[in-house]
Chain A
Amino acid sequence: MVELAEVTRSQARSSRSRLGRSHSRRWARFRAGAVTTGLLAPSVVLYTVMTIVPVGVAVYLSLTDWNGFSEAAFVGWDNYTHLFDDPNTQSAWYVTTIVAVCGTVLMIGGGLAYALALKDSSRTNSFFRALAYYPHVISALILGYLWSAILGTNGAINNTAAKFGIDPIGFLFDEKLALITLIGVIVWAGFGFNVVLFVAALQTVPAELIEAAAIDGASRWQTNRRVVVPMIAPVVTVATVLNLIGLIRAYDLVVSLTGGGPAGATQTYAYVILARSFEGTKVGYATAQAVFLMVVSAVLALVVTALRNRQDTDVAS
């Protein structure tokens, strides 16, 4: 009896310890998983609630006729079909495309020209790089106000011009000129960023290549065109798309520089969306526009990611 009891007890003990061991292993794995979850949870929860849920809400609102106050009624794709036949939106698309394309071309061109001029490390060059770059740290809203105080009818330029008997120039009041002014200020504020980006890229171009080209009798212009710029082509491509993404979202500068005027000549897509939402009318339609803008941005951003991956593999190979 005693023996039997002894045996069963020891069996029980060993089975308990076996159970305990596998239990503790599972417990350790569970604990590791729980810690990972714990590390991730605050970010994931906040990000989901404040960024992903609003995307869902936007998609939902874009399918309704919500005006900001009353009950929202479901209208299906109506808002989206409107996107292409509403004259207001069409003009905003026109303005946005002009701003994005012209702005990008000028910023890339200017950025490249100045990057080539400022690529060598010297005190003068780093001063000029910083000088080109500084507007990038200032709020676009405030830069817009500063430029409108300089270019407006009572602005510094027109008041000085008046002294010489020159009629006021409608930098901000002539429909065509206002768009050019907007692009000009955008380029002024943004090209320095491209300068810095390209200088960083140019400094990775091996000096031997440039020397070899010089020994072969290439002029400076030929060397830049045939050797140096092709070497940094991937960075230029990525910068092009980044500029485009930034510019199709242009809003702050439009508000402060022209207020979308004159007669809507400088209303960008982002400006129209926010103006409509502010008024509290046609929020459903405005969110449809916002969703569309999001899709365009996402496509462009995916292009950057793809280009960057290719660039990385190019560098690796």
Chain B
Amino acid sequence: MAVAPTGRTRRSPVRPLMLLFLLVVMTVPVYLLVVNTFKSQEDILNSPFSFPLADLTVKHLMDAIRSPQYNVIKGYGFTLFLVVVVDILCILMAGPAAYAIARSLKKRTQLVMLYFLAGTFIPGAALIIPVIYVLRSVGLANTVAGLIAHDVAATLPVSIFLFVGFIRTIPGSIDQAAMIDGAGRLRTFWTIIFPLMRPAVVTVLILNSIGIWNDFVSPQILLSPGSGRYTVTTAIYAGISQYSTDLTKVFPNLLLAIAPVVIFFIYMQRHIISGLTVGAVKG
């Protein structure tokens, strides 16, 4: 107690300044987005930073919600549908495959793992043109099924990798006990192992959901504009390239596009941060 904690007596101003800078830089764009969503074009142009309490209007936001063209709210539905279907198919396929890989001692099964790992090296966007080629030859070009097939395949490598790592931490004696009780391997997996994999499943679901929700290149290129189906990102792309000068259309649509993700993030913050960090470190 004789030694005064030096850190406390001489507090450097660096940290508070850093945090203030961070606060400003990270919140100003969101502030501008939210405030300008409720202002007229004139107000946005003349005083973008102002917060004219009396002149705020929900008119432009309602217009964006009701807009018949490139409607972001309608985009929610299709994007959510994609997320759910791809998530389910990914778990149904990656789970059993990871189980087979994690529990096999055979060389050839381990080679399958390496085969999947190679997929994490392939930049998806660079491969999209050949993917169209393949989809065309199996008759799925410009279909939702084709997009789903592509998205599921893209999620498999990292999902399988994370699952295998996790299953290997579960003792094999648990499987043997289940088998002695007469369960087949598929049944052992789904009823015994899968419920134990909850942390890994949550990580994979978060990784895949955010990835698919934010994906732009695949839906833009694999679904023709004529299909009438658009995701949040492709709706924003089509809408903004048309109305880029009308800021009363730009800001409300961007707010609608960002809001669900940010709300989801605030609600699930801890899981999302750890999940995405694990995914990036492992994948």
Q: A47-B116, A49-B138 are in contact. Are A188 and B25 (CB under 8 A)?
A: yes
The answer, among A117, A128, A145, for a CB contact under 8 Å with B240, is A145
* Complex CA–CA separation, A270 to B160 (angstroms): 27
If over half of A's interface residues share one DSSP class (helix, strand or loop), that class is named, otherwise mixed; here it is: helix
* Complex CA–CA separation, A288 to B7 (angstroms): 57
* Complex CA–CA separation, A51 to B135 (angstroms): 11
* Complex CA–CA separation, A132 to B29 (angstroms): 13
The answer, among A142, A154, A274, for a CB contact under 8 Å with B254, is A142
Q: How many residues of B contact A (CB 8 A)?
A: 91
The answer, among A39, A130, A159, A277, for a CB contact under 8 Å with B100, is A39
Q: A138-B258, A197-B277 are in contact. Are A39 and B214 (CB under 8 A)?
A: no
Chain A 161-203 per-residue mask, 1 if CB under 8 angstroms from chain B, else 0: 0000000000000000000000000001000010011001000
Q: Which of B56-64, B150-158, B168-176, B197-205 contacts A (4 or more CB under 8 A)?
A: B150-158
The answer, among A46, A57, A141, A294, for a CB contact under 8 Å with B152, is A46
Shortest C-beta distance, A115 to chain B (Å), equals: 11
The answer to the question of B81 belonging to the interface, with a C-beta cut-off of 8 Å to chain A, is no
B112 — which chain A residues lie within 8 A by C-beta? 40, 44
Chain A 126-154 per-residue mask, 1 if CB under 8 angstroms from chain B, else 0: 00111111111111111001110110001
The answer to the question of A251 belonging to the interface, with a C-beta cut-off of 8 Å to chain B, is yes
The answer to the question of A236 belonging to the interface, with a C-beta cut-off of 8 Å to chain B, is no
The answer to the question of B192 belonging to the interface, with a C-beta cut-off of 8 Å to chain A, is no
* Residue contact A286 to B27, C-beta cutoff 8 Å: no
The answer to the question of B22 belonging to the interface, with a C-beta cut-off of 8 Å to chain A, is yes
Q: A46-B152, A50-B131, A156-B48 are in contact. Are A274 and B277 (CB under 8 A)?
A: no
* Complex CA–CA separation, A8 to B189 (angstroms): 48
* Complex CA–CA separation, A36 to B98 (angstroms): 10
A54 — which chain B residues lie within 8 A by C-beta? 127, 130-131, 133-134
Q: Which residue of B lies closest to A242 (CB)?
A: B280
The answer to the question of B125 belonging to the interface, with a C-beta cut-off of 8 Å to chain A, is yes
Q: Which residue of B lies closest to A290 (CB)?
A: B126
Shortest C-beta distance, A311 to chain B (Å), equals: 10
Chain B 7-41 per-residue mask, 1 if CB under 8 angstroms from chain A, else 0: 10000100100110011011101001100100000
Nearest 10 pairs between A and B by C-beta? A50-B153, A156-B48, A139-B214, A54-B130, A290-B126, A39-B100, A57-B130, A43-B97, A39-B96, A298-B121
New A-B contacts (15) at CB < 8 Å, excluding given A46-B152, A155-B48: A35-B186, A40-B97, A42-B92, A44-B112, A50-B150, A54-B131, A130-B269, A138-B258, A139-B232, A140-B216, A156-B48, A159-B48, A290-B127, A294-B126, A297-B126
